[in-house]
Structure formats: structure tokens, C-alpha cells
Amino acid sequence: MTTPAQLAASFSAMSARRLLVFGGIALIATGLLFGDLFAVFVLHQNAGEQGAALVAAAQAVARQDVAAVNSAFQHLGSLLEGRGTKVDTHVHMLDAGYLALLLALVQPYVALGASTKKKLAAWFITGGVALPVGIFLIHYVGLAYSPFPVIGWASVLADLGGLVLIIVLVIEAVGVVRYLRAGRAALEPELPHDSTWTRRTLLSGGTLLVLVGFVGGAHYAAKDLYRHERMEPEILGAMLQDAANNGAAELNTHINNFGGLAGEKAVKLAAHAHFVEFGLLAMLLSFLQPYVMLSERWQRRWVVVLLAGSVILPVFVFLELQFGLIAGGIADFGGLLVLIALIGMLVGVLRYSGSLDSAGGAA
Amino acid sequence: MNPSRRILIFGGLALAAMGMTYGLHYALFVEHQTLDGMGSSLAQAFTNAAARKMPEAQRAVTDFAATKYDYVRQVDVHSHWIGLAMLMVLLGVAFDQVAWSERFRRLLAWGMLLGSALFPLGVMVQTIDHGFWPRGLAILGSGLVMASLALIAFGFARKT
């Protein structure tokens, strides 16, 4: 059983681990909020506009208007870029947060000075913010004021953020290699290994979520992937034949088939990805439980809320095909539950660090 | 650090390095050309159809599908290698809390490592060989990962 003094020593003020824990949770919370806002305000509207652009392209084929086809594809490209950069912003912010928490776990095995570790932590969080912010701005900034022919300033910001992350990770890896070559004990207190209910539940629940996501992915690969890959060119070919020969008389049928196929692919892959992502999050948060300074009852509540949201979101994303926007709304609610639980745990960690700092100040 | 944790942590780090190297190579030398190819094939299909060159339009649709088949798998290989590597490192940090004997934990760790390496490898080979064996390799790898994960989850839930 870890004593309070051992626990306090593993989370000292202004340490790299503390910075990585707070920065990591903040990145994950912001990434989740962004994902929820994107799902509510952008995703479905963007899908509708993509469908409209494809209709315009097929109608242009029927009119034999090559210029209008090119214009429709330019618009489609812009819509895909807008959607793609927002999905990437969400994913990269979450992944940078996960990596920050993972780095917080391995700090005892990084043989570098405390000041270097702290600077690396600060740079990692800076890069973790710059990368997704840069990605988000790519669609809006474009090539404005850029001296480069194809790379805009937002891309430069994103690439610099990514480069900072890579450099920090390489230096941390060098620190781990130095630790291994020296063959010594951990350089700073390890994270407590107490087998509490909250930790066991998050570890086993997280592993189960990853497993369910993996089974879902395997099921998709076995049952749907090849069928979808066969259907897509068939639908496109039929759409073009109809546009060329029948003046796009069956256009609505083809567009509905194409949209239905894209929707089915998107929800199944999103359900798979979210199960795995939330599983990893639960496992990472299990290590932070000793620092969550809340009553046992509230600690358990946040664990249950987090796991419930982690199941609700992917399950109802999957059900969007059958139940449409109602399922989408419930899925967004699931995401909100995860976000609330995460903030609840963050408050507990802040209380703990505050109590440590005030005790240190008083001493 | 006991052997099962070592297998997971160092195996995971090696797998992550392999996945990142593969991803970097793909991003630098292949991805942009592939994306350009996909976009231009689709646009070509529509412009050919508008010009009533239907055989060319159908050929462009087929090219689009073939390029997308490769693209989806290449991206999956890179992301699954790195994702599974991260999961292995994470499991390695907490593996002492899996309530099984060290001998059985070592077996599970090998199962995770072997499965995590083979599953994306099978997906990668699918871009070269469209037959059964690459799919079989991917199925074997993913089966190993799923079986190991189920037993690890059960081990975490048990009280040590």
C-alpha cells in the first residue's frame, strides 16, 4: 500500500509529470469537446453538401458540360478538405493528450535531468496544441500570404508542431535508453501500484472496450469491407451510365445508394475507432486514480460515468444507420458524459496538487 | 522488470518504431501520389462520361477503386502497428496487476506481440497478393490479439 508521503513524492510541484498530466487531460478534454461540437454542427451538414456536389457533377455529365463537372469536383474537394481537417484536429488533439499521459507514466525511467524533463514536457504540450490548431486552420488560411507554392502558413504551423513532438519523443527515448544501459532503479518515485476498485475497473473496463472495438473492426473487415469495395465502383459506374444515357433519370437512386454506402462505412469505422480510443483513455486514467482527491463514492461515480459514456457513444454511433439523428443525439450525449467524467477527475487531481502545494508552502 | 513486462514494453516500442518508419516512408514517397491518383481518377471518370467516352470513364472508375483498395490497407497497416504498439506499452506498465501466474502472463505477452506484428503484416501483403493467405495471416494475428486481450481483461478484473 502506498503511503501519502510516497504518493506526494511521485507528484511533486512543477515537475514534468504534473505538467504532462494536466496538459494531457486538458488536450483530451478539448479534443472531446471539439469532436462533440463537430458531430453536432458540421458532420451531417457537410455530408449533405457532399451529396449535393455529387448530384451537380452527375447532372453536369448528363448535360455534357465538362467545365461544370470540374467546378463540382473543386467544390467537392473543398468540402472533403473542410471535413478531413476537422476530423484530423479532433484525432490529433486526443492522440497528443494520450501520448502526454503515457509520457507522464514513463518519467521514472527517463534518465535526464529534472530541468530538462520539465522543458521537454512544456515543449511537448506546446507541440500538442500547435499541431491540431495548425491542422484546423489549413482549410481557412489556405495559401494566404504564403511564400510557398502549395504549403500555407497553417500547414507550416501544423508541421512545426508535429516536428516538436517528434524531437521531444526522440529525446525521451534517448533518456530511456540511458536508463536501461545504466541498469539502475527508477530515477524518481514510480506511480503507485495499489489495486483499488477504481483502478481495477478502469483497467479491465478499458481493456474490454479495446477488445470490443477490435472485434467490431474484425467483423467489419470480414463481413463488410470487401462488399463495400465492390459496391462503390458499381454505384459510380451505374451513376455515370445513367447520366450519360438517360439524362440522370435515376440520379436520386444512385446518390442515395452512394450516400447509404458512405454512411454505413463511416458509422462502422467510427464505432470501432471510438471503442478503442475510449478503452485506451480508461486505461491511462486508471494510473491517475491515486491523485484524484475525491471521496471514494465520487471517484467511483466518475469511473462509472466515464465507462458508461464510452459504451453509449460508439453503440449509438453504430445505431445511427437504423435510428438516424435520435441515435446521433444519444451518441453525442455519451461523448458529453466522457467529457464530464474527465473534468470531474481533473478537478480531483487539481485538489490533490493544491493540497500538496499549500502543505509545502505552510511547511 | 519481469519478462512479461519487458516483452510488452520493448516489443511495443520496437513495433511503434517499425510502424512510424513505415508510415514516414509511405507519407513521404507514396501517399501524396496515391491521393492525387484517386482524386484524378474519379474526376477523370466524370469528365470522360461528360464527353461520352464511356469505356474510358469505366476504366477510370476501376482505377479509382484499385488505388483506393491499396490506400485503405496501407493507412491501416501504419495506424494499426502504432496503435497496437501503444496498447502494448500501456499494458506493460500495468501488467503486474494482471492476476495470472508470471508464466501465463509471459504467454499472453507473446500472444500480444505476435498478433500485433502479424495482423498488420497480413493487411500489408494484401496489397501485393489478393489471395487467401494474406487474409489468413491477418485473421490469425487479430485472433491472437483478441484472445490475449480477453484473458488480460479478465486478469485485470480479478483481485491480486
Angle, alpha carbons A188-A356-A173 (nearest 5°) = 30
Number of residues in chain B: 160
Alpha carbon A141 to its chain centroid, in Å, reads 23
The pLDDT, as a whole number, for residue A359 is 76
Annotate A321-345 with b (16+ C-beta within 10 A) or e (fewer). Answer: eeeeeebbebbbebbbbbbbbbbbb
C-beta pairs of B133-139 under 8 Å, 24+ apart in sequence: B138/A221, B139/A218, B139/A222
Q: Which of A220, A221, A341, A210 is nearest to A288 (CA)?
A: A341
Crossing angle of helices A44-62 and A251-286, rounded to 10°: 150
**What is the torsion angle, in degrees rounded to the nearest 10, for the CA atoms of residue B11, residue B15, residue B17 and residue B18?**
140
As a whole number of angstroms, the distance between CA A288 and CA A283 comes to 10
Residue with cell 490469425: B140
Per-residue pLDDT, averaged over A10-36, amounts to 90
Contacts of B83 in chain A (CB under 8 A): 276
Name the residue in chain A with its Cα closest to that of B91: A283
Identify which of B97, B138, B159 has the shortest CB distance to residue A203: B97
Residue A184 contacts residue B122 (beta carbons within 8 Å): no
Q: Is the pLDDT of residue A315 over 90?
A: yes
Average pLDDT (B45-59) is 93
Q: Please, what is the angle between helix B32-50 and helix B54-94, to 10°?
A: 150
Q: With bands split at pLDDT 50, 70 and 90, how would you rate the model's confidence at A321?
A: confident
Closest residue on chain B to A201 (Cα): B157
Question: What integer is the mean pLDDT of A16-23?
Answer: 93
Phi (first) and psi of residue A56, to 5 degrees: -60, -40
ipTM of the complex: 0.88
- Whether residues B86 and A102 touch (CB distance < 8 A) is answered with yes
Q: Number of Cβ pairs closer than 8 Å across A and B?
A: 118
Could you tell me which residue, A16 or A184, shows the higher pLDDT?
A16
User: Hey, are the CB atoms on A102 and B89 less than 8 Å from each other?
Assistant: yes
pLDDT confidence of B103, banded at 50, 70, 90?
very high
Confidence (pLDDT) at B160: 63
- The rounded Cα A241 to chain-centroid distance in angstroms is 40
Among A1-5, B98-102, B116-120, name the one with the lowest average pLDDT. Answer: A1-5
Nearest by CB: B52 against A105, A208, A244: A244
In B, minimum Cα distance to A205 occurs at B153
- DSSP conformation letters of A110-160: --S-HHHHHHHHHHHHHHHHHHHHHHHHHHHHTTTT-SSSS--HHHHHHHH
> What average pLDDT does range A50-70 have in this prediction?
90
pLDDT tens digit sequence for A83-92: 989 998 999 9
Please write the tens of the pLDDT for every residue from A91-128: 999 989 999 999 998 888 899 999 999 999 999 999 99
Q: What is the pLDDT of residues A210-266, one digit of tens each?
A: 999 999 999 999 999 999 999 999 999 999 999 888 777 788 889 889 989 988 999
Task: Using DSSP, state whether A300 is helix, strand or coil.
Answer: helix
- Mean pLDDT estimate for chain A: 90
pLDDT of A151 above 60: yes
Take residue A98 and report the three cell numbers written for it.
Answer: 494520450
Tell the burial category of A131 from Cβ atoms under 10 Å away from its Cβ (0-12, 13-18, 19+).
Answer: buried
3-state secondary structure of A306: helix
Q: What is the pLDDT of residues B110-148, one digit of tens each?
A: 999 999 999 999 999 999 988 889 999 999 999 999 999
Specify the higher pLDDT residue, A284 or A6: A284
Number of CB atoms found within 10 A of residue A312's CB: 19
Check: CB of residue A132 under 8 Å from CB of residue A93.
Answer: yes
- The answer, for B82 touching chain A at a CB cutoff of 8 Å, is no
In chain A, whose CA is at the least distance from the CA of B159? A195
pLDDT score at A276: 95
CA distances from A182 to A47, A104, A176, A186, A187 (A): 55, 21, 10, 11, 11
Comparing CB atoms, the residue among B46, B52, B142 nearest residue A69 is B46
Percent over 90 (pLDDT), chain A: 60
- Over 90: is that where the pLDDT of A303 sits? yes
pLDDT-based confidence at B37, cuts 50/70/90? confident
Q: Which residue has the higher pLDDT, A202 or B21?
A: A202
Q: What is the DSSP string of A167-210?
A: HHHHHHHHHHHHHHHHT---SSPPPP----HHHHHHHHHHHHHH
Nearest residue to B120 (alpha-carbon basis) of B85, B80, B68: B80
State the pLDDT confidence band at A1, using cuts at 50, 70 and 90. Answer: low
How high is the pLDDT of residue A361? 58
Q: Provide, as residue numbers in chain B, all residues whose Cβ is less than 8 Å from the Cβ of A218.
A: 139, 142, 146
- Band the pLDDT of A7: cuts 50, 70, 90: confident
Of A200, A215, A236, the CB nearest to B45: A236
Of A187-196, A203-212, A315-324, give the lowest mean pLDDT range: A187-196
Question: Least CB-CB distance to A237: which of B61, B90, B150?
Answer: B61
pTM assigned to the model: 0.88
The mean per-residue pLDDT over the stretch A14-35 comes to 92
Å between B83 CA and nearest CA of chain A: 9
CB proximity B103 to A under 8 Å: no
* pLDDT higher at A11 or A153: A153
